[in-house]
Amino acid sequence: MIDRTKAPVPEKNISFEIPELNELQLSNGTKLYFIRKEKLPIVYTDLLFLSGSKLDPADKKGLAYLTALLIDEGAGEYDSLALNGEFEKLGTVFSVSSSHDSIGLTLLSLKENLSRSIELLSKIVLEPAFEEKDFLREKKKVLDKILQLKDEPSYIAETVFEKLLFENTHYSFPEIGDEKSISAISNSDIKNFHAGNFTSSNSVFIVAGNLTQEEALEHFNKYFKNWKSGSKTSVPFLKPEPKPTSFYIVDKKDSAQSEIRVGHLAKKRNSPDYMPARIMNAILGGQFSSRINLNLREAKGFTYGAGSAFHYYQDSGLFQVSTAVNIENSAEAISEIIKELNGIRENISSKEIDFAKSYLIKQFPSRFETYAQTAKNIEQLLLHDLKIDELLNYTSKVDSATPDEILNAARENIITDKLTVLAVGDKTKLIPQITDKFNLEPVELDIYGNLLS
Amino acid sequence: MKKELLKIDCEKYFLENGLQVILYPDHSFPLVSANIWYRVGSANETPGKTGFAHLFEHMMFQGSKNVPKEGHFRYIQEAGGNLNGSTSIDRTNYFETVPANYFELPLWLESDRMGFMAEGLTQEKLDNQKDVVMNERRQSYENQPYGTAWEKLFSNLYPSNHPYSWPTIGWMEDIAKFELEDVKKFFASYYSPSNASLVVAGNFETAKMKSLVQKYFGEIPKGNHVRDIFVPEFQIPATKKIVFEDSVQLPRIYLGFHTTKAFSRDDASLDLLSDILTSSKNARLQKALIFEKQIAQEIFSFQYSGRLDGSFIIVSTAKPGISLEKIKEEVQKEILDLTQNGISTEELERAKNSLKSAYIFSLQKLDHIADHLNHYNYFLNEPDSFTLDLSRYEAVTNDQIAEAARKYLTAEHIELNIIPKK
C-alpha cells in the first residue's frame, strides 16, 4: 500500500519564458507586433482597430456593430457569398468581433494559405462592397436579434447593469443598439464609419505564427502597402460619480431563477494597484475555490456558479459579482454577496494569499498555449496602453504584492456603500423578498434599464 | 498540408486490474493533461432514475478518502492548472491540465476518487449537490429561451424506455429523489479501473509516468462486470408534430430524423451533409432561407451520433411574421433538390478543406488531444485515429451525400414547434 494521505509535491519549478515580441512596421507605417511560434504550420492574425461602439453617434447606437457585421459582405471582385467561399476553399477561419473599444478582424490559417488569406483580408479592409441589398438584409438581422435578446435573462441583466453604472456615457448603451437607433442608420453611415475608422493609423496587426519576421513583413507589405494612414479617432469620457447603494429589479415573468448583478465602476486597467486587486479578486470570486462560489454554491446550493470580476474598458473599469439563483433564494443570495464584499475588506488570511498567488503565477504559461491566446495577450497590452513589461515581469508583480497592499486593494476597490444591486426575475417573487430582507422597495426598470412609470 | 502532423505517437497498455492507459509524450510545451473516461453515461440510467450519471459526476468533486470537499479544485488551481468533468449519453469524463512539474498531482487525485470515493460521501454533500444540479437545470435549460426543446424532441424521437430518450441532466423530479445508497451503488457498478481509460499527454518522461500510473492505479481492485445497456427494439415512429409555447419572441422549428450510430458507414456522410446544408453562408439552407429568401433568422443542423444510435437535427428560427410551415416547406424543397440533383464537386471540396484545417487547428490544445485520444479509444479501440477519422471524410463522394439525404432526411421525422406564449 502506498501513502495516499498527502498530495505529491513537484520536484522542481519549471522555467518558462514568454516568446519574444517583435515590434515591426509595414512600409506604409502600420505597426505589426510579431511573435514567432513553432510546432504547427499555423498563423494567427489579429487586425485590431482601436475604435468600437463608443464612437457611435448618440442617435445611431449600433453603428460600429453593424459596420463590423457588414465588413465581410463582399469585397474587391467578390460578392458576399463568393468571398465566404474563397475562405472556405482555403480552410481559413475568418472572423470579426466588435466591442465598445475595438473591432477585430482575425484569420486562423494554415501557413501554406497565409498569403492568399492576407490578400482576402486586405480586400475586406480596403475595398469592402457595402452593397445596399446586403446592408438591408444585415440591418434587418440586427433588428430581429435585438428582439431575440429580450428572451435572454443574462443579457438583460448585463446590459441593464451597465446602463445603471455608466449612466449617460458612451459605455451605457449595448453595442448592438436598439430598434430606434438601428432604424436611423443608413448605408452611407456605414461607409463613413469605415472610412473614418478603418484606417492604418487607427490599427495594429498582431501576428503569432510559424514563420519568420521577414516572411511576415513580406506578406503584409505586399497587400497593405497602399493603405492610407487617415486619422486616429478618440472620444472623451467623463466617469459618473458613484451613488449610494440602490436596489433595482427587472421583471421576467415566471422565471425559474433570478439573474443577479452587484457592483460598481472601478479603476482603469493601468492603475498602480491592478495586481493587488487581481489577487484580492481571485480570493473573493475569481475562481472556483473563491469565497463567493464556495458560499453560494458549495455551502448553500443556491446556484450552479457565482463569481466576481473586474472588467476593463479603455476608459473605466467595472467590478461585478454575477450569479443566477433559484428565485426563492434571491434576497438571501444578495445578502450573502454583500456579506462577502464586506468580509474581504476586513481580513484576508495569508493562506488565501498564498493560494491566490500560486494560482495566478503558475497558470501564466498556459496563457501562451494556442496561437490565438498568445496574440490576445498582446492585444490587452495595446488596448490599455501597457508595456511588454506587464508580461515580462508578471510573476514578480504577483509575487511582490504584500498582504497590506492586497487588503488595501479590497478596501479601495470594493465600495460596499456604493453598490448597484440588480435582480432580473419574476417580480411577484422578487419584490416581497427584497423588501422583507433589506427593508426597502427595489426600483423597477424595464428591460432597457429605464424607470417604469 | 502535411498529414503526418495528425499522427499522434501514443502508447496504449493495460494494468492488471483492467485500466486502459494511453500515454502521449509531447515536449513542445510545459503542460501535462490527464483525462479519464468512464464508460458510463445517461444511457446507463433507467426511467425514474434519470440524471444520475451527471449528478454522480458532481459528487466526484465532493472529495474522497484523502481529498476534502472541493479539494480537486483547490489542489489543481493552486498548481495553476484547470480541471473539469462532463457527462454525455455514452460516457463521463474528468480532466486536469497542469504545469508539467505537477504531473503527479492529477494521478493522485484521480486514483483517490477511482478507488476510494465512497469513503468521502456524506448526506450533506449529496443534498448540497442536488441543489446545485437543480439550479444547473434551471439556469441552463428552464430559464433559457427554447431551453427545454431538446428534451421534448428526444423524448418523442425515442420510446420512453430507450436510453437516449431522456436528457443527460435528468428530469427535475428524478434529481430530487436520489439517495446516498444510490450513489454508493452507482459507484460500485461503474467506477472501476476495468470500466475506464486514462490518457496522460504532454511533457513527461514515459518510463517515470508508467511507474507512477502503476503506483497510483495498480492497487485499485478490478470492478464487477458492467451490465449491458438494455436497448429496446423499436419501430421508427410515424411523422409527428408537437407544439409547445415558451417565453420567446420568435417561433422555432426542430426537425429530428433517425440516422445511424457514431463511426458507422453513413456517419461521416451525414456530418458532411450537415456542413453542406448549414455550416456557412454558402451552405444550402443558410443561403436559401437566410441570404436569399430572408425568412429565417438562423438555421443550423448536425448529425448527433452516439454508441447506440444517431439522429440528424435541423433547427431554424423564423423571422417575424413568417410561419414555421413556410420554413419547413423551404427546408424540404432544398433537401429534395439535393437528393435529386446531388451536390457540386466544389461544394464538397469546400466542406472537406474546412474540415482538414480544423483538424490541424485542433492540435493546438493539449487537453483537446488528450480527450480525443480517449474518444477514439472508446469508439474505435485505437486512440491514434486522427488520421483515420479525417480519411473517413476524405473518402466521402458526392453521391454518398445525396444518398444520405435521400435515405435519412426524406423519411419519418419528429417536428417540434416552439411558439411564443400568447
A317-337 pLDDT per residue, tens: 999 999 999 999 999 999 999
Whole-number pLDDT of residue A15:
85
Q: Which of B78, B141, B213 to mutate against chain A (most A CBs within 10 Å)?
A: B78
Q: Which of A288, A322, A329 to mutate against chain B (most B CBs within 10 Å)?
A: A288
Q: How confident is the model at residue B328 (pLDDT cuts 50, 70, 90)?
A: very high
Residue A14: pLDDT over 90: no
Nearest-CA neighbor of B36 among B364, B365, B304, B378?
B378
Q: Residue B1: which of A10, A112, A289 has the nearest Cβ?
A: A112
> What is the secondary structure of A155-171 as a DSSP string?
HHHHHHHHHHHHTTSTT
Distance of CA B403 to the CA centre of its chain: 26
CB contact under 8 A, A137 and B294: yes
Q: Are strands A103-110 and A246-251 parallel, antiparallel or unpaired?
A: unpaired
CB contact under 8 A, B30 and A303: no
Residue A184: pLDDT over 60: yes
Note whether A410 contacts B: Cβ–Cβ < 8 A. no
Contact A196, A233 (CB under 8 A): yes
Over residues A227-242, the mean pLDDT reads 88
SS3 B359: helix
Q: Give B365-404 pLDDT, tens digit per residue.
A: 999 999 999 999 999 999 999 999 999 999 999 999 999 9
Over residues B98-115, the mean pLDDT reads 98
Over residues B9-28, the mean pLDDT reads 97
Residues 91-120 of A with CB under 8 A from B: 91-93, 108-110, 112
Q: How confident is the model at residue A232 (pLDDT cuts 50, 70, 90)?
A: confident
Beta strands, E only, B190-309: 196-202, 240-246, 252-258, 296-305
Q: How confident is the model at residue A1 (pLDDT cuts 50, 70, 90)?
A: confident
pLDDT averaged over chain A? 96
| Cα within 13 Å of Cα(B111), Cβ side | 26
Could you give the C-alpha distances from B77 to A6, A156, A170, A393, A406, in angstroms and in order?
17, 32, 37, 21, 20
Q: Give B185-196 pLDDT, tens digit per residue.
A: 999 999 999 999
Nearest-CA neighbor of B409 among B280, B273, B208, B213?
B273
Q: Give A76-97 pLDDT, tens digit per residue.
A: 999 999 999 999 999 999 999 9
Nearest-CA neighbor of A92 among B199, B33, B358?
B358
Pick the residue with more confidence: B273 or B234?
Answer: B273
CB contact under 8 A, A110 and B1: yes
Whole-number pLDDT of residue A234:
81
Residues 319-348 of A with CB under 8 A from B: 324-326
Over residues B10-38, the mean pLDDT reads 97
Q: Give B274-302 pLDDT, tens digit per residue.
A: 999 999 999 999 999 999 999 999 999 99
Over residues A193-217, the mean pLDDT reads 96
Whole-number pLDDT of residue B4:
85
Whole-number pLDDT of residue B1:
56
Q: How confident is the model at residue B229 (pLDDT cuts 50, 70, 90)?
A: very high
Our CA-based measurement puts residue B292 at a distance from the nearest CA of chain A, in whole angstroms, of 9
DSSP state of B155: H
Over residues B87-101, the mean pLDDT reads 98
Q: Residue A324: which of B31, B127, B143 has the nearest Cβ?
A: B143
Question: Which residues in chain A have their CB less than 8 angstroms from residue B73's CB?
Answer: 288-289
Note whether A136 contacts B: Cβ–Cβ < 8 A. no
Whole-number pLDDT of residue A11:
77
Whole-number pLDDT of residue B2:
65
Question: Which residues in chain A have their CB less than 8 angstroms from residue B128's CB?
Answer: 298-299, 301
Q: How confident is the model at residue B169 (pLDDT cuts 50, 70, 90)?
A: very high
Our CA-based measurement puts residue A438 at a distance from the nearest CA of chain B, in whole angstroms, of 24
Question: Which residues in chain B have their CB less than 8 angstroms from residue A152's CB?
Answer: 144-145
The residue of chain B nearest to residue A146, with distances taken between CA atoms, is: B249
Per residue in A40-72, is it b (16+ CB within 10 Å) or e — as a string? Answer: bbbbbbbbbbbbbbbbbeeebbbbbbbbbbbbb
Whole-number pLDDT of residue B280:
96
